[in-house]
Amino acid sequence: MKNLQRIIECRKGKRCNSPLSCRSCGESWRRGKFKQFVNTYNTLPTDIISYLVITSNSLNTLEKGIKDIYSLVNDIRELKKRDKISDFFLKVEISFGRKSLGYNPHINILFFGDIGTIKTLAENHNLTVWSRLKDNNEQTVKSIIWYMLKYNNLGIEKGEAVRIALRKRTTLMHSKRFNHKTISYVDEYIDLDFGWMGVYPIRSKAEIALRSEIRDDRAVLSKKLRDFIKLDTFNT
pLDDT by position in tens, the chain (length 236): 455 555 556 766 666 777 787 888 888 888 888 888 888 887 666 667 899 999 887 766 788 888 889 999 999 988 888 888 888 999 999 887 654 557 888 899 999 888 999 999 998 988 989 999 988 888 888 889 999 998 888 878 888 888 888 888 888 888 887 876 554 433 344 455 556 555 444 455 555 666 677 777 777 777 777 776 766 665 65
**Alpha-helix runs per DSSP H in the chain:** 2-8, 23-40, 62-81, 116-124, 138-148, 156-166, 205-235
The domains of the chain are located at 2-187, 204-236
Residue 173 CA to residue 52 CA, distance in Å, equals 14
* CA dist list (Å): 144 to 10, 97, 122, 127, 193: 29, 21, 21, 22, 16
Exposure letters 6-39 (e unless 16+ CB within 10 A, then b): bbeebeeeebbebbbbbebbbebbbbbbbbbbbe
State the pTM of this model: 0.70
**Residues comprising the chain, all counted:** 236
